[in-house]
Structure 1
Amino acid sequence: MPRPVLPFVCVLASALLLTACGDDVAVEVPARPVMVMQPQPAGETLESYPGAVHARYEPELAFRIGGKVVERLVEAGDRVSKDQPLARLDPQDVRLQLDGMRAQVAAAEANLRVAKAEHDRYRTLLGRQLVSQSQFDSADNAYRSAAARLQQARAEFEVASNQVDYAVLRATRDGVVVQRLIEVGQVVAAGQVAFVLAADGEREVAIDLPEQSLERYKVGQSASVELWSQPGRQYSGHIRELSPAADAHSRTFAARVAFSDEDVTAELGQSARVTLQSAGAAALAVPLSALSAERGVAYVWRLRPDSTVERVEVRTGPYGERLVPVLEGLRADDWVVMAGVQMLQPDQPVRPVDRDNRPVVLAAEE
């Protein structure tokens, strides 16, 4: 009987020994290497937007009367001078109307001559007391009505004469035709845009701002413009115009950035990049990779003096392309983890390094 019990006792003793050894030995967790950085000044949170060079004044030219286009004299891209004809409408209808108004003026003049002669005759008879005062008043009223009808006919004749001139669309300023929206044979209405003219003179850059960034910009705010044809050269400018309503399709707000220097050699249609700094920017900013969020609350991992990390909630501003403004929660001398934040736990020991892979030692450890 004793022999079968001995192996069981040995196995039990071995298990107890191993358990005791496991309780005495502490398993050391190696520190995780992390890349850290200090928050950057918010002045570096600049945002760039693509745009195109436009003229300061771009009037939309249209006929003041309706009709059929019988001649188009310019194409998009043509340079035109002030009062140069651009297109013509069929003038037949307006000329017939002018002839009719001319005939009405002639009839009104003849009617006035008759009324004046009658007025003068009754005046003479009244002086001789051969007619009553009421008869003379009637002739006087007829004369005044005839004079008024002649004045009306002449005014309508002037309008009809102007409409003959309106059948020719002319350039309002020197410039370049940037858009042509009519064709020969097309029937256009009065006020329908026929051409878009880019007037000579000032140039500016048209950009589109996303709606989440609109509150950061205002009219008069400074900007920097770089033309793609002149890389590396920055031109100073400012926001001249900011649309109060968003585009129905893109949901962006149109803005115009004017050059501060009038001698900028920018051609129409050139591509450009506008760099803007947020108005009233926050004091600090961190990279997008340093930010995490849970249940709608943003936070970062901050390095402690003992080389452990803690989670710190922050209040952020509108996100940029690379950086996020931090409105509350961080100081300028804090160190935050900028990569691998998803793998961290509170109070976890880390081995911090900077962008150049150099160890970071906090002041408290020195």
Structure 2
Amino acid sequence: MKIQSTVLSVLSLLILATGCSKTPEPTPTPQATASEAAGIGVIKLTPEQFQNGNIQTADAKRQKIAQSFQALGEFRSKNRAKSMVEAPVGGRVVALLVDEGASVQLGQPVARIESPELSRLLAEHHHAQRKLELLESNAGQKILLAEQGPDTQAPLNQARTRLQKARAQTQAEEARLKEASLRKERLEKLIEVGIPSQEQVDMARADYLQALAALQAAQAEEKLAQDAFQKESLLDKRDARSAVMKRELSAELHLAREELRHQSELLKVLGKDSEEESPVITLTAPASGSVTSISTNVGEFVDTGQPLLEVVQSGDVYPVIWIPGSRVPEVAVGSEVEIFFSTDSPGYPAKITWLAPELDPETRTLAARLEFADKNLSARAGIFIKANVQTRKHSSLMVPLSAVTEVEGKQCVYIAGGERTFHRREVKTGVKSTDAIEILQGIEAGEKCATEGVFLLKSYDLGTEGE
């Protein structure tokens, strides 16, 4: 009995001693996993380690996220926004005043052309102006002579002299035209072997046109002189002669005024002041915008109507992206899009405003036109872009992208526990945005996870002493 009593006393002391020395186990938080409870992936930092590691945390939050896919595209110009600068007359380009890609304003000079045709038009305008001035200055004297009734033979003699001069002038102009024609034909044949310059050929053609115009004018004058002579031959009364002279003078003045008006309008269309004498014409920008192409060079000869430059109006461009055929059912007018001009550029929000009625048969893509949320945002035609096209939005648990790291081949985050304590938690991730990532499994909303100093926590977790 004594032995039994002694054993019971010893056992009682051992149980009492054990109960006094054992500390109660901490109750795991509801988020703690079995591995955390076992101390696996648990990092306890000293105050110094915590401070030097610049550890930062953030809450896991539920947010609206959108699934998306990428598409390529470009900026296009509206058809009505393109304006061509064309040569109004043939000639030689003597100056290009802008470069390709330059911005221009409406009416800004962009090129200059030296034109033999313009030289001829200026000469004809000057001739028509002088002719009208002479007719107007002599009109009063002619009417006075007609009313006073001079010698009836004088007008007839004048008409005869005029007819003779007109015939002689016609013959001279015919000879001149023949000579100019032969010279033009000879140079046009020789240019094929490279003997004359293009400028010589152009001048020969201009001389031929001037000779032809002069002959036509001489022939017209001869016909007028012939008609006048016939009329004078029939007139034998002073009153009849006077009336005819007045009518003829009035008609001649009217024709001279019309000729001058016509010449002035031709020069005005070319943007040339009738008082100028230089055969150089300055071309101006038809609209404010950007010069997208230049199709000529200084020194080059151009024809009437030949395109020289293309100007695309500022702001009249729009983005278009190409939706892969397999993704077409996921988009609609109004779908949100984020546009990137380069890999490191910020994203610009936009939305789809139009979808093509059918796929491109070659690329198997569908063209979609976009509209920027920022109406003041502009670009130039031809710039390529990349787009993230959002298909649908849903609420999901998100953490900063920097919070997720790979540990032993698994995606993990470090959850903040007690004071300066972090627990590694394996997670299953979903879609990413530019700065956040979706968490499908592993943590709950409201849990704090490390976002800065994650690499330091990982190094302690994988073997570095943390105390």
TM tier relative to shorter chain? 0.3 to 0.5
TM-score by length of 1: 0.47
Which gives a bigger RCO, structure 1 or 2 (Cα 8 Å, sep 6+)? 2
TM-score by length of 2: 0.38
